Copies of this chain bind each other. A is one copy, B any other.
């Protein structure tokens, strides 16, 4: 069908679960002849040959070269077209042992399987007509979602919410497209009635497209998340606040890891928004060359984040350095000032500050609300499909642009040829969105972002 980086008809296999010690692991295989190749490693052979699709077998895997037994496994048998990819295939459920997984993958290679590339199973599902491109992208978005909200939005896309919406928009344009085609094919005098183009349906589609495009920032927010840095002077309580966020967030356990000596970071979850939180406790003036480099990197980080939580120690009060930071033009509108250590002082917080005590936890919930509010104030809150993919956004923008031309053309009585070309452009953009019309390199780009095994 297309020229892809990947072959699309050989037998592929990959570990589909994370590389780690655990009770079980899943190894997935697919492709023409994959069940026959599996016969080289699975016994009892006869049961595999007889197995109907949709059944699973208990058996032993052995290396086809050495004959050495490798593991007790359960094999799920998929027979085309009733599988994820649409091809013959299998899932092997084996023990979650690192050397065991490695030896099974090697045995599959010895039997003739190729290691699957990222997203290759889903790419095959797409190429075999098991799902359109918006659903295929949703598979990746589901896997990579960092909060329940993001997961639920992606699941909605997997169910085809966007594909259905686009189909509807497209159908609204077909009447106009038909009329134009008729007018272009037949001279006016051969037709019974004069063709009058009405921009109404096009306007409707334009309005709908704008609505869909407006959901993009919301989609991105929930899928890609936002970057938030905890800043402030030494001893303002930055690391304590950072740790408090980690402790409160039970929804996703992510490891805290120091990327550099300069700051540490962790994913947390506030109001369903995945937040990549940075602790800049390493930031301090002076020091040797390494420290100066560290400070430079931390400053770059602060400039790049979406939101800064700026802590002021209520006992120390607002110092010149604090005021400088808060008043800097680049920081306004993306900084929440936090008045910390309210447990140690009596005075009220200055206007605009969120009073908290990172020791007692007092005020912490209000701070979370302020953060969520900051991001959600422009968010789309409807219950229709929300887009998150940059590619989908570009397709929609391209369609919108073409339709604006169509609209202007109709309203200004421009030549029908030009209007027809623009309308064709819009329909093409919809086709690209769903994947009906897509260049091979575009597909390769899309699927290369997937996990291996998907």
| A interface with B by C-beta (< 8 Å) | 14, 16-26, 28, 54-57, 68-72, 74, 76, 91, 93, 95-100, 102-103, 121, 139, 142-148, 150-152, 155, 158-159, 251-253, 450-454
Contacts and interface: CB of A to CB of B under 8 A. Distances in A.
Given A26-B26, A71-B142, A99-B146, 7 more contacts: A18-B22, A23-B452, A24-B454, A55-B56, A99-B251, A100-B145, A100-B155
Contacts of A96: 16-18, 143, 451
Given A143-B95, A144-B97, A155-B71, A451 B102 contact: no
A25 B21 contact: no
Contacts of A155: 69-72, 100
A26 B453 CA distance: 14
A24 B19 contact: no
Contacts of A453: 22-24
A155 B69 CA distance: 8
A310 to B, nearest CB: 30
A98 B252 contact: yes
A23 B19 contact: no
A288 to B, nearest CB: 17
A152 B103 CA distance: 10
Contacts of A150: 99
Given A55-B55, A100-B151, A26 B17 contact: yes
Given A17-B17, A17-B96, A451-B96, A23 B102 contact: no
A71 B155 CA distance: 7
B152 A102 contact: no
B72 A158 contact: yes
A143 to B, nearest CB: 5
A304 to B, nearest CB: 24
Contacts of A23: 14, 16-17, 28, 121, 143, 450-454
Given A21-B144, A23-B17, A76 B56 contact: yes
A19 B19 CA distance: 10
Contacts of A71: 142, 155
